[in-house]
Amino acid sequence: MAAFASIDVTSPSLGRLPTQVGVYRLVGDVPGDYQYLPNVRVLKITQNEGADPGHARFRYVFDEFNPPGVPNSFQQALSVNVNLPGVVQNDDRLTVFAFNPDGSRTALFDGFALVPELNLSPSEEMVAFTAVGVAVRCWDTPIGGALMRNADTPTKVVDLATDVPTYFNPAGLPNATPAGADASDTYGNTYPTFLDPLVMRDPDVRRPWTLSMAARYLCFRHNAPQTFVQNPDGPLLDQLLDSRSPNLGVCFVQNDSTTYDSQPILVPDFPATGMPWPVALDRLLEPNGFAMVFRLETDVDGNPYTYLDLFRRQDGSPQSYKDLYLQLSGQSLDPAQTNLLSAQLARDSTAVANSFVVDSRLERFEASFVLAPGFPIALGDGASASSLAAFDRNSPDFVQSDHDQYRLYICDETGEGHWDFSQGKFVATATPLDAVLGKPAANGTPAYVKRRRPPIGRLFTLDANNVPLKASLSISTDYAGKQPGVWDGTGTWQEVLGGFELLSDRLGIWINAANPNSWVIGASNSSNAPYPAGTVRGVEDQANTFAAHFALRLTCVIEGDYGLDALAQQRPSSTSAFTITRRINARDRYFSDTIAPNSEFNNASEPIVTRNDAQDALAEAEAYRLAREAGEVAGSAVVPRLTLAYRIGDRIQSIQGRGLSLRTNAGAPSEEGEVFPAVVGLTWGFEHQQHTTLLLSDQRALLGRS
């Protein structure tokens, strides 16, 4: 529940002499060649965490004492034909400098002017305009096609700019180039590029995109040549962008790698084409507890430069932990002990989530199933030409109600009804799938639910070229196992090459030949093939008493009922004693694929696991938990002067003088490390009295995005 507090200190003595601030225009492209604009005042400068280039608002000063060349009316400032040197034009590069007592200068803003606006009233005429930080140039060219590499030479660093969509891990398939074969920019920063996700080799060299790999690609590929924004270092991205799972038996400390296990964070199925690269990067970072900010600094020559800074919200160097100051009421005012003019803060635990489950795609199994007729059989169905004509769609005697007769073959996994040759009748008994999906537990709890399981036609078994095989159908006349049932490994089988299709609503096939009594399955040269000529009398061979009834074996993939076990459980650091669980929909990227021993393509007696993303899924769950398990202190605080002591990403520990700690993970062991609200937005105001407004939050409304 949220608890709110407001602070308002009205004493004007908190203010200090204003900092000298000036607005300058860059002349040409030479750093340091600035023109002072005496007729332009900065009103405020705002910067926020995330994909925000920063903004500043300015106004013209209309004064009769302005020198020549300076606009003194709104019509002069706004005219499209004006050539007065004191008029700021669209796209002019403006810099706001603050001047220090030692004569040096600090850049507060560096950006490009936008079209001005007029505010006209009987008592005032004002022309104001906005400028956007130089990082806005990163929005000029959205992400286009992917930089791709030849599938036949994936380790050869020769990449081609294409119009193929830039798509990280499409449908959960890895599509990054191999390790050790990265591309590089002109500064030597390395990054992966894209491969065709459908091409698999032995060994499989495709890599799934991790968060650090995607950040490298977005920065080093799309922010080149770093004209306006400097990129972070690649090794820093690798070190920072991971998931940290606390080790058992020790207290978790963010900056102590002996207390946690680091795992990479997989990028979700993420199409990036059409996005500006900062937007794409922010969308990948934020759900995992990371943040970005475009920081403005001043070099040794007094010139501004902007760089991209990435950080973990709950990390922080000792220098980033700051306090606010407010003396007790009645004490003699000491400006060194009071810098808080006003504040509105809320300690809120309603957004806490301390347990996360990653929902993966349901586990899948490749196996072989022996089918049975999904229709009743009558002895007279194959007795004469006239009776056979009732099943031939090309015959005028075809009976529409016989649409599925001698065509529908099913596993009958739900017990809806199938023909049992051994009993000579239609029975409604569900076919056990224990051999594939698991046996009941010792207490009798089933391992799966009886439900329809439509076949999936793409197998996990690969051919000689590492291409997944397609579902296959075979026919036998000597199979003596259960029919329907999971294949027991016996029988003489001939592959069916055509004339059938997979069912879309249950496990089975439908013979699509016009006449099931003349079903062409393809000839075979095998000496023991049951139908060497390749034609099956699908009615007579099943309906006639003394015929060699055939069995059909379908090898396909089916879904199980469970996903991966990826649960990040509640830790003591949560502010709530209750377990509050959230689920992450990650069915697009985390899979479990197994070739069961009952598949005709598995020669082993044990299951073959071809993919299991449990560890990666757990790493994502733990990253979400770490970002959201503490409560939230959110709000704003105003310092009644221009101060550079606070910056975005700083942690505000307390209000000194009042003994108020702003720690949010109060339930954690003391040695684990404290979590405090961070500065996620900052505004410098210059109109009337200079002030600095800090926007505080340690969650920033993340929960609704998961």
Task: Indicate the residue among 514, 534, 559 that finishes a domain.
Answer: 559
Q: How many CB atoms lie within 10 A of CB 590?
A: 26
Among 188, 517, 583, residue whose Cα is nearest residue 383: 517
Q: How many CA atoms lie within 13 A of 596 on its CB side?
A: 25
Among 601, 473, 469, 487, residue whose Cα is nearest residue 536: 473
Residue 7 — very low, low, confident or very high, per pLDDT cuts 50/70/90? Answer: low
* pLDDT for the residue numbered 564: 93
Kindly state whether residues 35 and 134 are assigned to the same domain: yes
Kindly state whether residues 108 and 234 are assigned to the same domain: no
Among 376, 366, 431, 426, residue whose Cα is nearest residue 401: 376
* Window from 88-102, 109-123, 176-190 with minimum mean pLDDT: 109-123
Kindly state whether residues 379 and 255 are assigned to the same domain: no
The single residue listed with the structure tokens 């390790």 is 179
219-256: per-residue pLDDT in tens? 999 999 999 999 999 999 999 999 887 776 666 666 67
164-198: per-residue pLDDT in tens? 999 999 988 999 999 999 999 999 999 999 999 99
Backbone angles phi, psi at 291, to 5 degrees: -140, 165
User: What are the distances in angstroms from CA 189 to CA 195, 239, 322?
Assistant: 20, 15, 34
Residue 706 — very low, low, confident or very high, per pLDDT cuts 50/70/90? Answer: very low
> Where would I find the H helices in 133-271?
211-222, 234-240
Q: How many CB atoms lie within 10 A of CB 414?
A: 17
Kindly state whether residues 117 and 200 are assigned to the same domain: no
With 0-12 CB in 10 A as exposed, 13-18 as middle and 19+ as buried, what is 650?
buried
587-637: per-residue pLDDT in tens? 988 999 999 999 999 998 899 999 999 999 998 898 888 778 877 778 899
CA–CA dist 51, 45 (Å, integer) = 16
CA–CA dist 683, 700 (Å, integer) = 17
* pLDDT for the residue numbered 409: 98
CATH number at residue 125: 2.40.10
Q: Which residues pair with 462 in a beta bridge?
A: 468
* pLDDT for the residue numbered 491: 96
Kindly state whether residues 66 and 150 are assigned to the same domain: no
Contact assessment for residue 507 and residue 448, using Cβ atoms and an 8 Å cutoff: no
Q: Which long-range contacts (CB under 8 A, 24 or more apart) does 655-661 make?
A: 655/323, 655/324, 655/325, 655/326, 655/340, 655/343, 656/323, 656/324, 656/325, 656/326, 656/337, 657/325, 657/326, 657/327, 657/328, 657/337, 657/338, 658/326, 658/328
Tell me which residue range forms the domain holding 427.
367-559
* Window from 292-301, 655-664, 697-706 with minimum mean pLDDT: 697-706
Task: Indicate the residue among 139, 170, 193 that finishes a domain.
Answer: 139
Among 20, 22, 21, 24, residue whose Cα is nearest residue 94: 24
Structure tokens of 393? 């769609």
In one letter, which amino acid is 14? L
* pLDDT for the residue numbered 671: 54
Task: Indicate the residue among 257, 275, 293 that finishes a domain.
Answer: 275
Domain count, the chain: 4
pTM of the full predicted structure?
0.77
Backbone angles phi, psi at 213, to 5 degrees: -65, -45
Backbone angles phi, psi at 363, to 5 degrees: -55, 150
Contact assessment for residue 161 and residue 183, using Cβ atoms and an 8 Å cutoff: no
Higher pLDDT, 500 or 118: 500
CA–CA dist 25, 566 (Å, integer) = 55
Whether 129 is covered by a domain: the verdict is yes
Kindly state whether residues 582 and 546 are assigned to the same domain: no
Calculate what percentage of the chain has a pLDDT beyond 70: 90
* pLDDT for the residue numbered 700: 39
Kindly state whether residues 413 and 509 are assigned to the same domain: yes
Whether 699 is covered by a domain: the verdict is no
Tell me: pLDDT of 92 over 50: yes
Residue 699 — very low, low, confident or very high, per pLDDT cuts 50/70/90? Answer: very low
User: What are the distances in angstroms from CA 271 to CA 160, 165, 214, 591?
Assistant: 19, 7, 12, 19
CA–CA dist 275, 279 (Å, integer) = 6
Phi-psi region of 257 (alpha: psi -120 to 50; beta: other; left: phi over 0): alpha
* pLDDT for the residue numbered 90: 87
Kindly state whether residues 151 and 269 are assigned to the same domain: yes
Whether 228 is covered by a domain: the verdict is yes
Whether 484 is covered by a domain: the verdict is yes
DSSP string computed for 405-464: TTTEEE--TT-S-EEETTTTEEE--PPP-HHHH-PPPTTS--SS-------BSEEEEE-T
Among 580, 686, 661, 11, residue whose Cα is nearest residue 345: 661
Q: How many CB atoms lie within 10 A of CB 300?
A: 6
CA–CA dist 625, 251 (Å, integer) = 16
Q: How many CB atoms lie within 10 A of CB 681?
A: 19
* pLDDT for the residue numbered 203: 87
DSSP string computed for 61-117: ---TTPPTTS--SHHHHH-TT---TTSPPTT-EEEEEEE-TTS-EEEEEEEEE---E
CA geometry: angle 10, 698, 661, nearest 5 deg: 55
* Window from 284-298, 444-458, 506-520, 620-634 with minimum mean pLDDT: 620-634
| DSSP assigned state of 207 | B
Higher pLDDT, 101 or 193: 193
Residue 301 — very low, low, confident or very high, per pLDDT cuts 50/70/90? Answer: very high
Higher pLDDT, 116 or 360: 360
314-347: per-residue pLDDT in tens? 776 667 889 998 888 878 777 778 898 888 888 7
Consecutive H or E run containing 291: strand 290-298
CA–CA dist 256, 407 (Å, integer) = 65
Whether 638 is covered by a domain: the verdict is no
Kindly state whether residues 57 and 159 are assigned to the same domain: no
Kindly state whether residues 109 and 169 are assigned to the same domain: no
Highest mean pLDDT: which range of 262-266, 326-330, 484-488, 638-642: 484-488
Structure tokens of 55? 């903004």
Tell me: pLDDT of 262 over 90: no
Whether 169 is covered by a domain: the verdict is yes
Phi-psi region of 171 (alpha: psi -120 to 50; beta: other; left: phi over 0): left
Whether 567 is covered by a domain: the verdict is yes
Whether 401 is covered by a domain: the verdict is yes
549-584: per-residue pLDDT in tens? 999 999 999 999 999 999 999 987 777 888 999 999
Convert 320-358 to b/e letters by CB count within 10 Å (16 or more is b). Answer: bebbbbbbeeeeeeeeeebbbbbbebbbbbebbbbbbbb
Kindly state whether residues 213 and 90 are assigned to the same domain: no
Kindly state whether residues 486 and 375 are assigned to the same domain: yes
426-437: per-residue pLDDT in tens? 999 999 999 999
The mean predicted confidence, pLDDT, of the chain is 88
Residue 201 — very low, low, confident or very high, per pLDDT cuts 50/70/90? Answer: confident
* pLDDT for the residue numbered 118: 74
Q: At what angle do helices 211-222 and 277-285 cross, to 10 degrees?
A: 170
